């Protein structure tokens, strides 16, 4: 049985060591799932005294006024032999063997947090006592409930204390020691009032009656102790602690306990109750109760622990691996992440992920539509043909065929294709940039490293910019090539009279007549349309060659070259993880360690049960 409580103590100690105090936190907490015992009651009702007698040690600051100003989480550990000692959570490895020094350290540590004022603090003090003379228990001493703020205290102190006390005892795993002094009317007991509030059925409340020795002559506490005044699930337990005079005279615990025993055994009113009165009895009852609570909680605790371990592991893996420490490891890590990003980008182009189809849309819709909008037929309407041919002829009208005029008509038409060609290059560039952006966001591994994310994104976009320039140059060249050399065959195959300007009987001026010009216009139009159809096919080829294929092949080539020149320190700055993530990973890992330890502890107990 002992090892059940030992287990809880071990779990709680592990929690404390790993920073799990059950406080508000984004991390799961085991602390709240563990049972504990808290003492509540009005100021000077004898809470600290009760705790001390349960422990059988003098170590708590006691007295009148507000002495306990921070929660004290006290763990009692039974050891088989050796000298007893105490240890504080805030002073690990320092063994206190003098309990007066423990008392002083509690006072000092209280002041450290609250200042020497009478303020209170919710930050608990953790104290462990190792002794052959204690039972294994975790107890919490709380500041006493008050009715009014006294000098130097803020007005809110009454509510502050009440809220703090409530925050401890409202947890379903908290066993409440409700301390009421017998020399006050039970109806005014703060302890009973707040305990009833959080535990209306009294399933976890133990009524402790102090100061029975201080009752008015002629009155006794039998009605309360026998449960007639206020019924609780568990029988009331009366205690007689040391009075202030005893404390001043340094009456020791052994003597105090003996006197308490004698008091109940010898006082006529309480004789029949003596077997279930006193601090020693209280200690045993608590220990037994705690055992049964823990036993009933073990399966629940186990599944809570297992579930939490799975959750913690899942979040840790979501956060990714911690950063390698050496330059090689860092370089490898960066390359790995880049490779993943590159793979995602390719998947977008190859249709595994969406977005690549937009490029085809440029070739299949945007480009043809833009070419159509060029309206060559308008350009080659009769009036324009006349104007261009006349201009090309200059002072000397052409004699046989308007060679210069043809060329000029064709060139001025074809050159307008540069606009749609350029627009197609730009449109594909924009799509590729968008896919880079998408792929960056979809590379989970990059989320961890904001700097690397920015750098990879920039490098990819810079590559795309370079490819765009190159592709634009090559694509426009296709158009210029068409302008600079005409397909001779096309004109040779035309009927001769049209080509040569027709009937030599026509006067030179006849050659400028409407039907002649219209014929030239339609000849040039069919040539230009033929070239345009060719370009409509070759422009996409040029763009795919220069931008799409190229970005698939080596989007990060340049980045890798630069990366190779970097030193360990510079690689480190690329992998400067978001500090919040680093922090989170660390605390998750710590908490996971706690839960794994708890898991094996609890398994060993569950098996041996
Ligand atoms: P707390 O404020 O509730 O922690 O109360 P303390 O434990 O500090 O006790 C307040 C005062 O009441 C101290 O002077 C104690 O000596 C005294 N006291 C506590 N319990 C008893 C008791 O059962 N009998 C007598 N005579 N005095 C007690
Ligand atoms: Mg106290």
Interior CA angle at 565 toward 560 and 570, to 5°?
A: 95
CATH topology of domain 2-16+34-316+592-604: Rossmann fold (3.40.50)
Q: Helices (DSSP H) in 485-513: which residue ranges?
A: 488-492, 496-500
The answer, yes or no, to whether residue 38 has pLDDT greater than 70, is: yes
What are phi and psi for residue 179, nearest 5 degrees? -95, 120
pLDDT in tens, 398-409: 888 888 999 999
CA of 270 to the centre of ligand 1 (A): 21
pLDDT at position 132: 77
CA distance 184 to 173: 29
Band (pLDDT 50/70/90 cuts) for residue 508 is: low
**Better-scored residue on pLDDT, 599 or 25:** 599
**Better-scored residue on pLDDT, 77 or 352:** 352
pLDDT at position 507: 53
For ligand 1, whether the C-beta of 45 sits within 6 Å is yes
Task: Indicate if the alpha-carbon torsion angle 362, 363, 364, 369 is positive or negative.
Answer: positive
The answer, yes or no, to whether residue 191 has pLDDT greater than 60, is: yes
Judged on CB neighbours under 10 Å (0-12, 13-18, 19+), 212 is buried
Q: Helices (DSSP H) in 202-278: which residue ranges?
A: 222-225, 244-248, 253-266
pLDDT at position 510: 59
CATH topology of domain 327-576: 1.20.120
For ligand 1, whether the C-beta of 49 sits within 6 Å is yes
For ligand 1, whether the C-beta of 243 sits within 6 Å is yes
pLDDT in tens, 453-473: 999 999 999 999 999 999 999
Section 345-357 average pLDDT: 95
For ligand 1, whether the C-beta of 287 sits within 6 Å is no
The answer, yes or no, to whether residue 496 has pLDDT greater than 60, is: no
Tell which atom from ligand 1 comes closest to the C-alpha of 246.
16
In this structure, the strands spanning 91-96 and 85-88 are antiparallel
Please name every residue paired with 37 in a beta bridge, in sequence order, or none if there are none.
Answer: 139, 175
Residue having the nearest C-alpha atom to atom 2 of ligand 1: 44
Contact (Cβ atoms closer than 8 angstroms) between residue 38 and residue 97: no
For the chain, which residues make up each domain, given as ranges?
Answer: 2-16+34-316+592-604, 327-576
Band (pLDDT 50/70/90 cuts) for residue 374 is: very high
The answer, yes or no, to whether residue 500 has pLDDT greater than 80, is: no
Task: Indicate if the alpha-carbon torsion angle 161, 104, 23, 45 is positive or negative.
Answer: negative
Instruction: Give the rounded percent of residues in the chain with a pLDDT score beyond 70.
Output: 89
pTM of the model: 0.56
Section 193-211 average pLDDT: 94
CA of 210 to the centre of ligand 1 (A): 8
Structure tokens at 565: 């020149």
Question: Which range is most confident: 378-387, 568-577, 595-604?
Answer: 378-387
Among 148-152, 310-314, 358-362, 593-597, the least confident range: 148-152
CA distance 528 to 474: 20
Residue having the nearest C-alpha atom to atom 13 of ligand 1: 63
Residue having the nearest C-alpha atom to atom 1 of ligand 1: 44
Of 143, 15, 160, nearest to 71 (Cα)? 143
Tell which atom from ligand 1 comes closest to the C-alpha of 245.
16
**Better-scored residue on pLDDT, 201 or 2:** 201
SS (H, E, C) 426-456: HHHHHHHHHHHHHHHHHCHHHHCCHHHHHHH
Look up tokens 């909680």; give the residue: 297
Query: Can you tell me whether residue 555 is helix, strand or coil?
Result: coil
CA of 44 to the centre of ligand 1 (A): 6
Q: What is the DSSP letter of 274?
A: G
The answer, yes or no, to whether residue 30 has pLDDT greater than 80, is: no
The answer, yes or no, to whether residue 71 has pLDDT greater than 70, is: yes
Among 67-71, 172-176, 190-194, the least confident range: 67-71
Judged on CB neighbours under 10 Å (0-12, 13-18, 19+), 3 is middle
Section 114-123 average pLDDT: 76
Instruction: Give the rounded percent of residues in the chain with a pLDDT score beyond 90.
Output: 45
pLDDT in tens, 247-305: 889 888 889 989 999 999 999 999 999 999 999 899 888 878 877 887 777 788 788 88
Contact (Cβ atoms closer than 8 angstroms) between residue 286 and residue 237: no
The answer, yes or no, to whether residue 16 has pLDDT greater than 90, is: no
Contact (Cβ atoms closer than 8 angstroms) between residue 58 and residue 99: yes
CA distance 247 to 53: 13
Tell which atom from ligand 1 comes closest to the C-alpha of 210.
23
Residue having the nearest C-alpha atom to atom 26 of ligand 1: 243
CA of 214 to the centre of ligand 2 (A): 18
The answer, yes or no, to whether residue 176 has pLDDT greater than 90, is: yes
The answer, yes or no, to whether residue 138 has pLDDT greater than 50, is: yes
pLDDT at position 499: 44
In this structure, the strands spanning 137-141 and 72-78 are antiparallel
Q: What is the mean pLDDT of the chain?
A: 86
Section 467-494 average pLDDT: 92
Band (pLDDT 50/70/90 cuts) for residue 199 is: very high
The answer, yes or no, to whether residue 395 has pLDDT greater than 70, is: yes
């Amino acid at each position: 049985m002992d090892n059940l409580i030992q287990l809880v103590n071990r779990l709680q100690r592990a929690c404390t060591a790993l920073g799990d105090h059950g406080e508000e936190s984004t991390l799961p907490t085991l602390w709240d799932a563990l049972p504990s015992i808290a003492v509540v009651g009005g100021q000077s009702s004898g809470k600290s005294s009760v705790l001390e007698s349960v422990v059988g040690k003098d170590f708590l600051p006691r007295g009148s006024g507000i002495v306990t100003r921070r929660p004290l989480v006290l763990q009692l550990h039974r050891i088989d032999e050796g000298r007893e000692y105490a240890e504080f959570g805030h002073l690990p490895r320092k063994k206190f063997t003098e309990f007066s020094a423990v008392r002083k350290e509690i006072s000092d540590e209280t002041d450290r947090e609250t200042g020497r004022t009478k303020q209170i603090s919710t930050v608990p003090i953790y104290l462990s006592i190792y002794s052959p003379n204690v039972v294994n228990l975790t107890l919490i001493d709380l500041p006493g409930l008050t009715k009014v703020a006294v000098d130097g205290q803020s007005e809110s102190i009454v509510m502050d204390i009440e809220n703090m006390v409530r925050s401890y005892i409202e947890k379903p795993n908290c066993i409440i020691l409700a301390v009421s002094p017998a020399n006050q009317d039970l109806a005014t007991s703060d302890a009973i009032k707040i305990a009833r509030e959080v535990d209306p059925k009294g399933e976890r409340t133990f009524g402790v009656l102090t100061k029975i020795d201080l009752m008015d002559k002629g009155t006794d506490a039998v009605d309360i102790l026998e449960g007639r005044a206020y019924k609780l699930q568990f029988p009331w337990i009366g205690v007689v602690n040391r009075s202030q005079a005893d404390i001043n005279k340094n009456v020791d615990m052994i003597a105090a306990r003996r006197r308490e025993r004698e008091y109940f055994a010898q006082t006529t009113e309480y004789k029949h109750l003596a077997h279930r009165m006193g601090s020693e009895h209280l200690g045993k009852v608590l220990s037994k109760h705690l055992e049964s609570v823990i036993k009933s909680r073990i399966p629940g605790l186990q599944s809570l622990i297992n579930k939490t371990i799975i959750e913690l592991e899942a979040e840790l893996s979501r956060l990714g691996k911690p950063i390698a420490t050496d330059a090689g490891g860092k370089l490898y890590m960066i390359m790995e992440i880049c490779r993943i990003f590159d793979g995602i980008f390719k998947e977008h182009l190859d249709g595994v992920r969406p977005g690549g189809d937009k490029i085809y849309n440029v070739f299949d819709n945007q480009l043809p539509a833009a070419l159509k909008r060029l309206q060559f037929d308008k350009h080659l309407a009769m009036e324009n043909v006349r104007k261009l041919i006349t201009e090309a002829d200059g002072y000397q009208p052409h004699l046989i065929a308007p060679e210069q005029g043809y060329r000029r008509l064709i060139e001025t038409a074809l050159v307008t294709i540069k606009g749609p060609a350029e627009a197609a290059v730009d449109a594909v560039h924009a799509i590729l940039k968008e896919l880079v952006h998408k792929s960056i966001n979809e590379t989970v591994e990059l989320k961890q490293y904001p700097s690397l994310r920015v750098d990879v994104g920039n490098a990819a976009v810079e590559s795309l910019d370079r490819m765009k320039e190159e592709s634009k140059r090559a694509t426009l060249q296709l158009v210029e090539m068409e302008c600079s050399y005409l397909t001779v065959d096309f004109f040779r195959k035309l009927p001769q009279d049209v080509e040569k300007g027709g009937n030599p009987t026509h006067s030179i001026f006849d050659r400028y007549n409407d039907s002649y010009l219209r014929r030239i216009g339609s000849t040039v139009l069919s040539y230009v349309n033929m070239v345009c159809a060719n370009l409509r096919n070759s422009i996409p080829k040029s763009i795919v060659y220069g931008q799409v294929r190229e970005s698939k092949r080596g989007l990060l080539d340049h980045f890798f070259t630069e990366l190779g020149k970097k030193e360990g320190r510079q690689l480190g700055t690329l992998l400067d993880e978001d500090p919040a993530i680093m922090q989170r990973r660390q605390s998750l890992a710590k908490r996971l360690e706690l839960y794994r330890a708890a898991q094996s502890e609890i398994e060993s107990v569950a098996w041996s049960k």
